Chain A
Amino acid sequence: MADLDFTPRPGAAPLRSQVLAQARMEARLMLRNGEQLLLAVVIPVLVLVGGVTAGEHLTLDLHTSRPLVDTFTPGVIALAVMSTSFTSLAIATGFERRYGVIKRLGSSPLPRSGLLAGKVLALLMVQLVQIIVIGGVGQLLGWTPEPGVLGVGLAVLLGTAAFASLGLFVAGVLRAEATLAAANLIYLLLMAGGGVVLPLAAYGAFGDVVRWLPSGALGEAMRTGFIDGGVAWRDLGVLLIWAVLGTTLTARTFKWE
């Protein structure tokens, strides 16, 4: 057996590589977990294929002159961002607290800010995979996007900020099991009635309420970004407000352990 040399030689890895290691680890665990994968990829793809197919048969009128798939695909991408940033993050963080992962990392060289940065980077990595898969399926269904980098980029970033801060808030105040239940329930409610997949026009008068929800704002911002290459400043503003609210709530209540 090789004789190990334990002679002390301590030191932290550069912060950037620590954050990258943390992000890759978390993204890998997220994509490996069956339930998380269901939430991240399978459900959005089913919603996309099901929505477009059913919509064409039922001649669903979304009050736009464009093909249904052009409206649906950005909405489903918004749904995917919401599921990862909110539901997956909340559940994963809830169980990390339960299993002492956060406590363990708390005594490693990785600072709390690095852990948070790693989490956000992991979300963006998973979302990139989601966008590629959903976008690919959308194109098979005839999606012809005209994306604007600024509009789409800001929608993803601010949507992630808003939902991730709210997800951490839920994970911080509830026990792991309660977080699991609450995060899934809120996801289902927002998917059904939160203006993510369907445009606000489909909600009639109720649309004026829905557009103030983070889900409605993210859906609209994503559609604007992908359909006209535009920037939905008003909806992005709503997301920013939710991000500030979520961050404030989390900062006041969240305990890492």
Chain B
Amino acid sequence: MRYGDKVAVDGLSLVVERATITAVLGPNGAGKTTTLETCEGYRRPQTGAVRVLGLDPVRDRRELLPRIGVMLQGGGAWSGVRAMEMLDHVARLHAHPLDTGELAERLGLGECGKTPYRRLSGGQQQRLGLAMALVGRPEIVFVDEPTAGMDPQARRTTWELLRELREDGVTVVLTTHYLDEAEQLADQVHIIDRGRLIASGTPEELTRGSSATVRLVVDQELPGATEAALRAAIDRWSADHHIGVRSISFGSRTLEDVFLELTGRDIEHG
């Protein structure tokens, strides 16, 4: 996927299972949104093929669109439209929409139903965006940075909702640059960086590491002096056995470690 001569997504290959949550993880500018928009039929890949529910998102757009739900990263409503009015409108475009009142209540939009879109908070706009993606009872939802700008409480509520979707048989594909979001929520994580897929797997697989990784867990917090002594002991031991130690980390390995190891960069700061 190119814009001019800039390659945004290159040689990306991934498969999503039904009724699972898949996270596309990467720093800003990694090509997450481009990947999603290619699945949603907004963009046609210059090479390669995309199939969603067996359909070509561009060629079979009319057949595909009623079956998917899309949450954009921002905007998507008239500035003067009231929150519920917008949700009801999107509902009317579908054959068997969810009850908009119940859906709004579930997403905590009950109190701002009459508020014009431009006066909703960022978090409320996000939740309305999610409601619009769900109201048509889609088979797959594509959610772009669903919790960006949400407070911790709203994030957890959103996570619960996404898990509930999976239980009800909906396939969820989300992008995020929050590692904890991918780790806690996703069945499959695909880490992309600069338009390339650099790792795929379950959060467990990705954090398990390889046989070259030795993980030592002790039963108590180590004071600084003890930690230094342990490092010195490891150094002596590795020198005696002619084994090079690439890194020693104190604390647990997370997806953040994985990203750092694979790209040499910190995800939050790109």
Contacts and interface: CB of A to CB of B under 8 A. Distances in A.
Interface residues of B, number: 43
A8 B169 contact: yes
Interface string A1-21: 110111111111100011001
B246 to A, nearest CB: 45
A108 B137 CA distance: 12
Q: Is the interface of B mostly helix, strand, loop or mixed?
A: loop
A106 interface: yes
A100 B72 contact: yes
Contacts of B95: 10-13
Interface in A8-51: 8-13, 17-18, 21-22, 25, 29, 32-33
A96 B150 CA distance: 25
Nearest to B92: A21
A1 to B, nearest CB: 7
Interface residues of A, number: 34
A111 interface: yes
B76 A99 contact: yes
Nearest to A96: B78
B67 interface: yes
Contacts of A107: 40-42, 65, 68, 70, 72
A205 B124 CA distance: 60
A104 B74 contact: no
Contacts of A12: 65-66, 93-95
A73 B128 CA distance: 45
A13 B136 CA distance: 10
A92 to B, nearest CB: 8
B94 A13 contact: yes
Contact of B96 (A1, A4, A11, A18): A11
Interface in B125-181: 132, 134, 136-139, 164-165, 168-170
The residue in A11, A17, A29 that gathers the most chain B C-beta atoms within 10 A of its C-beta is A11
Contact of B66 (A2, A5, A6, A109): A109
Contacts of B132: 104
B77 A104 contact: yes
B80 A100 contact: no
Q: Which 3 pairs across A and B sit closest by C-beta, in order of nearness?
A: A11-B95, A100-B75, A104-B76
Interface string A108-146: 111100000000000000000000000000000000000
B78 A10 contact: no
A100 B76 CA distance: 4
B76 A21 contact: no
Interface in B36-85: 40-42, 62, 65-68, 70, 72, 74-81, 85
Contacts of A25: 81, 85, 89
A7 B92 contact: no
Nearest to A98: B75
